[in-house]
Each structure stands twice: as structure tokens, then as C-alpha cells.
Amino acid sequence: MPHNPAGDGEHHGLVLQPRNVQFDWNALPMHWIPGEPMATHVINVLHLLLPEGERWFVRTFKEALPLIRDERLREEVLGFVGQEAIHAEAHQGVLDHLLAKGLDPRPYTRQAEYLFQRVLGEHPELTGTAARENLIERVAVIAAIEHFTAFLGDWVLNADALDRAGVDPTMLDLIRWHGAEEVEHRSVAFDLLRHLDQGYTRRIRAMAITGPVLVHLWVRGTRFLMANDPTLVPGQARASWRAYTAASKRGLLPRLGRAARSAARYLSRGYHPTQEGSTRQAVAYLGTSPAARAAAH
Ligand SMILES: [Fe+2]
Ligand SMILES: [Fe+2]
């Protein structure tokens, strides 16, 4: 991700719009990066986690609306909520397709439901300061996750190797459309967190928990998909760090070192999401994305 401490000048004055995209998965091959089952399934973990995760973002941010005392931020939060609601349903479509193709995602997605609905869900029994604290803590976790979604969005917009590898064009458009909207709205969760809590401690604590948990969920998700892929024979169904590193060197997955350095930048006191990625590039992709263009008509 390009690091730009001066911030992203294109970002100011942006109005976040949901784009009501549709995707047809009928022709999607199981290994939509041809000949790369593991790299395909590493990226497929997005479909396992995002429907429940992004529905949880939507519920949490709607819960936070009454606490917002800034009209511009309120509008941005509403735009963010509209975008994330559509992202969740777009990835749900891929889950339904995997199920129809004989890869049942439900043993994993039931765990994601438990995480996002129970562990991280609303706590109606809390009142007053305890309720507010719990809500702000969840906003801080979302701000940390949004750092990674923006990192991944910037990565996928620049991952030319995916074009050269002959990736299924509909899937490539899904992950680039989504990635572009993640770059476009990358400041909203962070700005909401700062609006509700000016402090530094909560941001750092949330990242210290969120980063390792995401790695854990990703490893489990990749292993789950490989083990349950009906087109792989048992000897092929193993995921390994060595294979990950090899695929990342070919440009098919993000480099782990870059992801770690990006997470470290989130810990600096002067961090702001506009220092990472390019709004200009994201908006340019959204102007050419087949799904976004079709949604505009
Ligand atoms: Fe999203
Ligand atoms: Fe997002």
C-alpha cells in the first residue's frame, strides 16, 4: 500500500454512495485463479467472514448513530452502512454458489455467526456508561478491521498478477469493486472512533486483539476450504505457509511483510487512514467496474 503521510488530497468532499451491484456465479470455476487452489481459497475466506462481519458493522454503526454530534460524519456513517450492507449480500451470493457446488460453508459460517452475533453483538442488558463503553469498544474493533480491508482493497486494485493469471472476470470485479469501496470509505470507522473517544489506548488495544484474531480466522478458513473442496484429492488439500509465501511472491496474494508493516503504521500516534491507499485510484476503478457500471443504469 502506498504510504503517504501527507494524506490523500482526493479524499475531501467525497460522498459515499452504495452501488447496488449484482453478480452471476453460474460460470464460476471452483478454482477461479486457474491452477491455484490454495490462493483461491485464501481469498475465498473473505466470503466466509464478510457476510456476517459486515452485517455486524451495519448493526453496530446504526446503534452508534444517536451518539454522533457532527452532521458530516453522520452522513459518512450512513454512506458506509449502505455500502457494507451491499458488500455482505454480494459475498453471500458466493457462499450460496459454493454450497450448490458441493462445498458446504456452513460449519465455518455458523462459527462466524456466533462470533459476530453473540460475542461481538449488542448487549441489551447493559445501560448508561457501560453500554456506551461496550459500543465504543466494538467501533474500535471495526476501525481496526477497516484498516485491513483498506489494505486488502489497495492490494487487489494493484495486483496486476491476478489479471495475468487469468482470474475469473466476475470474481475479479467483485473483489476489486469491494476493494475500491473499502479504499473509498477507509476513514469512516476511524473518524467515528475518534469522534467517540479521542484516546490512543483503545485504538491500540483493539488492533492488538483484532490483528491476531484475523490471522487465526484466516488460517482456519483456508484449511477448512481446502479440506472440504470436493475437487481436491487428499494429497492436494493441504494449506501451508510455504505455499502462501510462494503465491505472494507471484503476486497472487498480499505479502505478509507488507501486511505486518501496514498494521504497525496503525499503531503510530499520527496515523490516519487517508495516509494509506489512493481515493483517486478507487474512484477510477468504480468508474470502469462492470458491476458498478451496470448498477448505475
Ligand atoms: Fe465492505
Ligand atoms: Fe469497509
Across-strand partners of 276?
3
Cα of 236 vs centre of ligand 1, distance in Å, is 31
Cα of 55 vs centre of ligand 1, distance in Å, is 10
Evaluate if residue 149 carries a pLDDT over 90.
yes
Q: Which amino acid is at 26?
A: N
Q: Which residues contact 92 (CB under 8 A, 6 or more apart)?
A: 47, 51
Quickly state the pLDDT bin for 13 (edges 50, 70, 90): low
Q: Which amino acid is at 23?
A: F
Cα of 49 vs centre of ligand 2, distance in Å, is 13
Cα of 99 vs centre of ligand 2, distance in Å, is 25
Cα–Cα–Cα angle for 288, 58, 4, rounded to 5 degrees: 55
Tell me what percent of the residues of the chain surpass a pLDDT of 90: 90
**pLDDT value of position 15:** 84
Evaluate if residue 124 carries a pLDDT over 90.
no
3-state DSSP assignment of residue 78: helix
Cα of 219 vs centre of ligand 2, distance in Å, is 21
**pLDDT value of position 4:** 65
Evaluate if residue 148 carries a pLDDT over 60.
yes
Tell me what percent of the residues of the chain surpass a pLDDT of 70: 96
What number is the average pLDDT over the span 66-73?
Answer: 96
Residue 277, sorted as left (phi over 0), alpha (psi -120 to 50) or beta, turns out to be left
Please state at what angle helix 188-196 crosses helix 37-64, rounded to 10 degrees: 40
What number is the average pLDDT over the span 161-186?
Answer: 98
Cα–Cα–Cα angle for 247, 162, 261, rounded to 5 degrees: 55
What is the pTM assigned to this prediction? 0.95
- 156-173 burial, b at 16+ Cβ within 10 Å, e below that, comes to bbbbebbeebebbebbbb
Quick one: which ligand is closest to 51's CA?
1
Across-strand partners of 3?
276
Host H or E run for residue 3: none
User: And the C-alpha cell for 12?
Assistant: 475531501
Quickly state the pLDDT bin for 12 (edges 50, 70, 90): low
